[in-house]
Amino acid sequence: MDEHKYACPHCGQHMEYTDDYSGMRMTCPKCRQPIVFPGVATRRLPSSLRLAGAVAKPPAGFQFSLAGMVRFLREFKHWKIVGVCLIPFVLVAGALVAASLAGRHEPAPAPAAAGVAVDPDALGRLTNLTRADQLVQERLAAVNRATAACQTAEKNEAALRSQRRGAAGPAADQAVKRAHQALANARKDFDTAFAQYQKLGGTIDYQRQLP
């Protein structure tokens, strides 16, 4: 049985084949590209094909996952904001279509879209919601800073007590009181801003991010 050697022109994979495979078109087992074995003198021999070396499995590339996309769309929290943002574009597209139809046909009253209510204040509410979201994040940052200041004041007071083996002194006590009052004010401002954010339709639970 005559055997011939052949290397894939795409990936270089070495293969051995018999006369019956000459001129045959097939797919390279390594890179999956089409190849054609060179022709040789035809003889009636049992056909045989084997690879000269082990074929490494092609590395898995990026695969689109429908389940992952569905899960992402289901967990997306801002569909309401996206819908409000799309309303102006829908209105503009409708106006362009109406103008195009009016130029081709005689003017006629445009029928109102059945079951669709257009809110003229949608853009204003979206702007207010964006500002409320920014304010909540600022108030949250202020609470974090006030919390860190309280911890620092309490550590300083504890250090003075340890050094003096008794009272830390009026200055240290006043610093702790001021830090706690600042933290209370920051929490109050956050609660007010967060309540307004929720009233405007905000859905992110910023309270879970409080220290």
Does 113 fall in a domain? no
One domain, residues 127 and 200 = yes
- CA-nearest of 40, 37, 30 to 2 is 40
147 lies in the same domain as 205: yes
Return the higher-pLDDT residue of 83 and 181: 181
Residue 46, domain member (yes or no): yes
Q: Is 211 within 8 Å of 147 (Cβ atoms)?
A: yes
Same domain, 42 and 83: no
Domain that holds residue 14: 3-51
- Statement to judge: residues 35 and 76 lie in one domain: no
Same domain, 155 and 192: yes
Pull the structure tokens for residue 145. Answer: 């800073």
Please tell me whether residues 130 and 203 are part of one structural domain. yes
Are 167 and 161 contacting, i.e. CB atoms less than 8 angstroms apart?
yes
Q: How confident is the model at residue 40 (pLDDT cuts 50, 70, 90)?
A: low
Residue-level pLDDT at 65: 66
Report if residue 112 sits inside a domain: no
Give the pLDDT score at 148: 94
Question: Is 9 inside any structural domain?
Answer: yes
In a domain, 128, yes or no: yes
- What's the pLDDT at 81? 79
Q: What is the pLDDT of residue 89?
A: 81
Residue type, 95: A
How big is the CA angle at 66 (ends 62 and 67), to the nearest 5 degrees?
110
Shared domain check, 129 and 193:
yes
Band (pLDDT 50/70/90 cuts) for residue 104 is low
pLDDT, position 45 = 43
Confidence of residue 56 (pLDDT cuts 50, 70, 90): low
Interval 144-203: pLDDT, tens? 999 999 999 888 888 877 777 767 677 778 888 899 999 999 999 999 999 999 999 989
Task: Please give the tally of structural domains in the chain.
Answer: 3
Same-domain pairing of 128 and 203: yes
CB-hemisphere CA count at 13 Å for 72? 6
